[in-house]
Every structure is written in structure tokens, then in C-alpha cells.
Chain A
Amino acid sequence: MTITIPFELDRAHRRVLIGGEPMLFHCHHYNTFLQRSIQDASYIESRPYLIGAAAEVAYAQLVRLFQSEGADDVNRRNELASELYRWAGFGTVDLSAIGESGGRVESKSSHYARAWSEKFGSSDEPVCLFPSGWIAGAAAAIHGKPLGSYSVQHTSCAAQPGKDTCLFEVQAGEANYDVFESVGAGEVGEHEQRPRPENNIDEEGIYEALTAMEIAGDKDGIIPAFGVYLTRHYANYYNRISFETLRAMEAAFGPDGYDATRPLFVEAGHVCAFNTFGGIMTSPEWNALIRPTCKTDADWVHGMVACVNTLGWGRWNVEELSPTEAVFSIQDDYESVGYRAMYGTPERPISFLAEGAAAGIMNLVYRGEVMSSPEFTPEYYDHLFRQTDVFRAEPAGQSVAMGDKATTIRVTRG
């Protein structure tokens, strides 16, 4: 039986909701780099929320989906949940092994394990923390129990030497991870037209063209697209793990904690931009849809922003643009929407991924000559982000998280 994953395309806010959870695209580079960056801060106990945040989103989403799709029995719920996991690009997982008291789950294909192995080599420890939590949350939803009703042990991982399957032992009982209540879609504002320099890019046409593409997991639950490997992931997962880390750092080190954390997450944004945006701008899809209409270097920036608007990150715009400087504005950026819903109003801007991504666009176009289809090597990364005259981003005075209508980011060179 074919299962269609129902999703709601929110055009006004440039995002997608599935089972009430905002979902967005990120690549395997970002997923693994972010997790490792958080885990590298070994003085913070991150494992409980790296797993708990996944249980949070899986549970909330599946409970709503089961209700909306009329999935009343365990078999149907298992099928829908397993299919969602594959479709979203997380890999494959057989949830039918989980009974009311628990069970052993096998995953023969894992985005996280594959990505980790590829990017960092083999791991001594299992790395599939997101899948661990997702499975625990799914188990509770499938069996009609409250979130946190199952513990999960990730006992074996395909990222470990000699292993090709990930194993998870799920057991009914007290959760061995942090339990959060999902904030769901959060609150978004009324879209307003923002200024934009004249350009040759048909942003609306690109949005309609790309959102009509089927970008879904293959039989292995892997999404090869635009030269990278994507997941249709959870905004609230990224937000929870990022901001729990930020808050832990602030609790430990005061304001210095913010200053220490921001560069890590901005760097993750650089990694994302380098790989995902670089992949997009050198892809056959770009060559067909956008490149033919690019007449200037600035058009490449506007074209890339048009693509960003299909990722589910919020509504991006370029308000000022020159070869040496740009101002980006984002309405309802997913970091701000999530932070406000989860934690209220921050004291300082928290749109770190957006900062890194904005700087990445400018570095790719104006320093990296991405138009010449370069090879995305570590040396090229260093050239784009680690020289003295690179573009760097900083908050430009407005933040949705802090109550403004848009988040503004200024990117300057040198």
C-alpha cells in the first residue's frame, strides 16, 4: 500500500508543516557537524537533549499524524511512522519490532551513520542520537503512551568499525533522556514586502518550481539532491539542541557563554552554506532553472536566496547588495520562531545558522567564483572562510526572536 505523507506548504512564511511540526532541509554536512560541535563541548551533558529533542518532535508529530490520518491500530501506525522516516531522508527503520513493553529496532540504513562515517571516519561510539530519540518518541506515539514512556539504548552503530547495522533497544519505563513538550509551529508574523534591489530573478517562479519537485528519500531513505544528501528535518530539533547548548553555556560561563557558543553555530552555518549552497549553485537543477536568467553576479545572490526560501528556513530577502557588503532580512527565521516559542525573548540575537549561511552566500559568489563550478575541497573551504578578507556576518539591529518583524544580518568583507 502506498503511503503519502501529508504536508502543508505555508507559502506566506516559506515553510512546510507536517503533523504540525515545521520541517526544513539541511544536508548531511550540517547534521553531523552540528552534532559533533555540540558533543565536543564535553563539559556539557548534551546526550540527554540530543536524544530527547528527537523524541520530542517525533512524538508530537506522529500523535497528530495518527489522528489526522485515522491511523488507529499499531500496524498502520508502524507503517506510517516508518514511511515518514524513510521519506524524510533519515534512513530506514522497522518499528514493528517494538511491542508495548519495548523491543529491538534495526536500521539497515542510517543517514547519520553514513554521513558520520563519510565525514569523520569511523566512530568508537554509536552516533545515531537523533534516530535513538526519534524511535523512542515514535514508540510512545504508536502505543498510545505519554512521551517519555520508553527508554532507548543505541547498542550498535553502522558508523562503528565492522558494523553495518544500527541497533536500538527500546524498553518501556522511565526515559533516559530529557523530555520536552514540543512547541509545534510556533507563532509567525504577517508577511510584509521588504525592499530589494532590482534583479533578474523570478523569485516566485523559482519557489513554485522547486516546491513542486519531489524531494524524498529513496529506497534506502537517502535523499541525494543538488549535489548533497539532504534530510527533511525538524526545525524544533535543531532549535532545541542548539539552544539547550547555548543556555548550558550561558549558565556555566555567563555572557561569555554566548560569545563562546555563537562562533560554533555560525561556523556550522558556514559548513552548511559551503556544501549545500555550493552544491545547489553547481547543480544541473540550478543550470536549468536559475542560471539562464542570471545576468550579473548579484543575480546569483538573489537566485540563491530564492532557493533558500524553498528550504523551510523562513522568508529570506536581500535588502542591500554590493560586491563588498549585503544586508539580509528574514521574516520568521526558524531559529527565532523556535527560540521564542521554547524560551521566550533572548537578550541577544540567536539566528546563528542564518548568519553563517548569509556569509556563505557572499563568500561563494564574490570570493569563490562559484559560477566556474569549483571543486568543494577543504582547501576551497579555507579560502572562502578562513582568510583575512572573507565576508563575515553580524546581526544588523533587528531580530524576530527579540520582537522585531524581521531578523536583519549585515555581511561585510575584510
Chain B
Amino acid sequence: MNGKQVTAVRTLDCAHKLRVRYLLPRPLDRELLESLGPGELRVQAFSLKVQGARDHLALIDEERNLRAAGVDGEGLLTVTFGKLGREAHEGVVADFESLLVQLLGVPIALRE
């Protein structure tokens, strides 16, 4: 993790919707993900089912067609903007990243 920035790697999902992998300056946790709402926070407590597994966190925002997910305690947040047949709302990416910057207190650097 780079404590001074969020590194964003932009790709497309298999439906050609924008998918961004954000390498965070600190581990992802429930509080951070929930703060990136609105949306529904879903927690899969895999650590209780498989020894050595980690918990999976997801924020599902159906209104904005946004899904953010990552591993509890790790530094990667994967966000898909839009879904099959539906584009993300205009401005959603900018709003999301603006909030992320505000919460983490560091800028986002786009990695090509």
C-alpha cells in the first residue's frame, strides 16, 4: 500500500462497463465501505466457513448501478460502474472518487 495516494487502475468488465481497481493506502473495512454509500452493505463471513479465508465486503447501490467489493483487511477495492444493459449515472464516477479522496485524505493517481 502507498500511504500517500489511492492508485486507480481502470479496466472494463466483461460487459464493457467501467471497472476500477483502487489500491488503497490503508486496509478496507466495513466502516469505510459503508461510508461510500448509499447502498446495501453485504458481508460474507467466509472466515467462519473456511480456515484461513477472509471476509468479503460488498456495497450494492442499485440506484446508481454501482458495485464496490473487496476483502476485509486488504488494500484492494474493486468498483464496477454500470451493469449489463445499464450505464452508470453521469457523474457517479467523479462523485464516488471525490468521496473516496475525502474519506482517505489522499489523492487518486490513475495508473495506465
Which residues of chain A have a CB within 8 Å of any CB of chain B?
A: 28-29, 109, 111, 113-115, 117-118, 158, 202, 205-206, 208-209, 212-213, 218-220, 222, 224, 227-229, 275, 279, 283-285, 287-290, 292-293, 375-376
Contact = CB atoms under 8 A, between A and B. Distances in A.
B75 to A, nearest CB: 11
23 contacts: A29-B14, A114-B84, A206-B49, A208-B49, A213-B44, A220-B83, A222-B86, A224-B83, A229-B83, A275-B14, A279-B14, A284-B76, A284-B78, A287-B70, A287-B74, A288-B55, A289-B46, A289-B56, A290-B53, A292-B52, A292-B54, A293-B52, A293-B53
B13 interface: yes
A202 B78 CA distance: 25
A118 B85 CA distance: 7
Interface of B: 11-16, 44, 46, 49-56, 58, 60, 62, 67, 69-72, 74, 76, 78, 80, 83-86
Nearest to B15: A118
Contacts of B62: 218-219
B111 to A, nearest CB: 14
Nearest to B85: A114
Contacts, number: 98
A228 B50 contact: no
Given A29-B14, A284-B69, A289-B46, A222 B83 contact: yes
A205 B70 contact: no
A118 B16 contact: yes
Nearest to B47: A288
B84 A224 contact: yes
Identify whether the interface residues of A are mostly helix, strand, loop, or mixed.
helix
A118 B14 CA distance: 9
Contacts of A113: 85
A228 B80 CA distance: 11
A205 B62 CA distance: 30
A375 B11 contact: yes
B92 to A, nearest CB: 15
B67 A289 contact: no
Contacts of A219: 62
A377 to B, nearest CB: 9
A209 B84 contact: no
Contacts of B76: 284, 287
Nearest to A207: B49
A209 B53 contact: yes
A206 B50 contact: yes
A224 B55 CA distance: 19
